[in-house]
Amino acid sequence: MASVTLKGNPVGLSGSIPAVGAAAPAFTLVKSDLSALAGSDLRGKTVVLLTVPSLDTPVCQAETRKFNERAASVPGATVVVASSDLPFAIKRFCAAEGISNVHGASDVRDRGFAERWGVAIKDGPLQGVMARAAFVIGPDGKVKYSALVPEIAQEPDYDAVLKAASGK
């Protein structure tokens, strides 16, 4: 079981981060149009899966904007930003920001998602939402990149994520 910090204070997580080379844990998230986005539907594609606490926070917004801008650098990749926000809030944010290269998705119907991916915050002020992490799932369904951001208030290593997604 891993832990991260929030503004320097330790925060415990439930579950285990999937290791590089392991099969990606199953998931079914909810897109902003309320349709399902299942990991099995993305098999055969490279998927950048990002978990964030909430799109109502500045760091999560900045991360989503940045991946939206840089997603085109990995042709054919599907970029998903998963949060515990309701699909309506995700839709509102993405529409207001012109987010079109990233799929916002909610764990509202799959509350076990965060624990299966090792990002479920189990204590502290953000208990019940997800820690910030980045994963790349290869077309074969195996994890190619797995990184838990150690400080929730920091952005991920964009270059490392995109490099793993592009296979370079």
Dump pLDDT digits (tens) for 2-48: 889 999 999 999 999 999 999 999 999 999 999 999 999 999 999 99
Overall pTM surpassing 0.85 (yes/no) = yes
41: in domain = yes
124: in domain = no
122: in domain = no
102: in domain = yes
Give me the mean pLDDT over the 120-146 stretch: 95
Residues designated catalytic: 60
83: in domain = yes
> What is the full DSSP assignment across the chain?
--EEEETTEEEEEES-PPPTTSBPPP-EEEETTS-EEEGGGGTTS-EEEEE-S-TTSHHHHHHHHHHHHHGGGSTT-EEEEEESS-HHHHHHHHHHHT--SSEEEE-TT-TTHHHHTT-EE-SSTTTTSBPPEEEEE-TTSBEEEEEE-SBTTS---HHHHHHHHHT-
Band of residue 144 on the pLDDT scale cut at 50, 70, 90: very high
Q: For position 37, which CATH number holds?
A: 3.40.30.10
Q: Residue 76's domain spans which residues?
A: 21-113+134-153
**For the chain, how many structural domains are there in total?**
1
2: in domain = no
List, for residues 51-109, the tens digit of each pLDDT value.
Answer: 999 999 999 999 999 999 998 888 889 999 999 999 999 999 999 999 999 999 999 99
146: in domain = yes
Band of residue 1 on the pLDDT scale cut at 50, 70, 90: low
